[in-house]
Structure 1
Amino acid sequence: MEQPERPGEPEGMAPPGTAPEPGPAEPETVTEPAAVEPETAAEPGTVEPETAAAPVRARRRGRTALLIAGAVVLGLVAGTCTGYLVQADREPTKLPPLSQPTLKQSKGEAPEPLSASQDRRVRTDGDLRKLLLKKPRGTKDVDWSTAQDGWMDLATYAETFERPKPAFARLVSHEFRRAAVVAWRQGYTAVEIHLVQFRQEETMAAAERASNGHYWADEDGNRSWPLPGTEDGVAYTAKKPEIKPGYMPAYRARAYAWRGDIAMTIFVTDTKPITKKTILGLAERQLERL
């Protein structure tokens, strides 16, 4: 590291290594410090007049908002009062009459009410059992039918299904009204006819009942034929008999259709195959009575 340059020796100083000659020592001059006036501490909160600034007032918060809110309320009150006074000075508006206008009555005789043959509702609101096919002569009553005097209530009709509980709930939702039943047996041939009536205030339950029968009959792979004079009426016959130990073979045939609020179902059972003529003949004659 470079050394700093050595400053020159001042004049009057002995060279290095030579002791100075003794002489009278000059007295040291002591300079007294100048008297300093003590600073006067300013009292807290005071400012000297040369540097003091003008005092600033703190602004109150919310005052402007209150003024605006008050102005809005006064404006609403004033507007309401003005509208009321304007409406009070107006004449009341006349309302249209509630009564219907008087129409001239048509001349001539009123049309006669429809007969029972023309008004289907007249027929179906009566005794539904009268619309069932009559038992053929020489036939016998069956012992398996649960109908009482030709009627089935809701609970009894639900028991004719394989699963009575869901069938009961479905019939309730479809607004079941009543069911008329007729059944007979001739030799080994057994016939049972159901006419089920629904209120049909919300759904076309009669059509749905017939459609449900078509679904299950089609699933069994039966022969089928449409019923003349119906929109979707169908008759079915089984290709194979049902065989159970201890019982004779059972051939089955069915027919489903609907008219208005009535669903028609026909069941035929025999120990021999049931012909197309047999099931179609029963269905057509029953539909004619509806």
Structure 2
Amino acid sequence: MPPRNGAGFFDSVRKGLASDLVMGNLEQPLTDDTGASKCGAGSTNCYAFRSPPSYAKHLVEGGFQLLNLANNHAKDFGDAGHGNTIKALDGAGLEYTGEQDQITVVEVKGVKVAVVGFSPYAGTNNLNDPAHSRSVIKQAKEKADLVVVQVHMGGEGDTKNHVKPGNEIYFGENRGDPIKFSHAVIDAGADVVIGHGPHVLRGMEFYKGKLIAYSLGNFAGGGRTLSKDGIKKYGGILRVTLAKDGTYVSGKFLSTYLNGNGLPTRDTADERGRELVGSLTKADFPETGATIGDDGTIKPAA
């Protein structure tokens, strides 16, 4: 468990997170032990995560308002654990998305924002089902001014930081074709695509004027949950401003890293995450890649 039972967990990054709508990917259930862990007794290569339901208050303290639950750990403690997560989020006044056909709409300063979560896992909007993906995005567009896609896609690990065409297979799972999926949902009406899953930072590109962030890396994970070695300890906060009609106005990337206790920490001195995203973007998207300035500003390629 984190120091002080999680109190002040997000202190270092709270200022950077402050925004009109703060979202994150909650890759664990908020539950007590349900007795239904996905990992069998004696398993040596299986990871099941959970935090106490009371930790929802720490998400609120950090400034989060909406969490994506479409990922491979949301049901680590079964349907009961997932249900407890929903109860904890509801009790804390937090919005969430990620169930199949779920479109979560929130209103921010008179602008309706629809958020849809995708992953390759059962019970969520399947990123490997192009027809359904397009359909749910079109429905979201009918309900809101802006459509934000949260998507858990791609292989994992420090060798998976490059984005390449084609499906990414990891431990026998089809983790999707990140480029094909992202372009498809933008064609269907999405205004920004925010990727997570690889546990490392990836590059960013613009497609039809819409920003795609293929992975924001590791942001937070207390104790031994996430690696704090090498490039896997780097992540970032993505700030995006959109006009009501979906036009990209501005963006900024703020570098973070996991400290020794796994707490998210602003990397104001070196901005190593920003440098990583910049170099990966140039390598993987030489024509469509975002331009990332020394101050973290994100602009379309000239």
Query: Normalising to structure 2: TM-score of the pair?
Result: 0.22
Question: Which structure has the higher relative contact order (CA within 8 Å, separation 6+)?
Answer: 2
Q: What TM-score do you get using the length of structure 1 for normalisation? A: 0.23
Q: Which has the higher strand share?
A: 2
In our comparison, the structure showing a higher alpha carbon Rg is 1
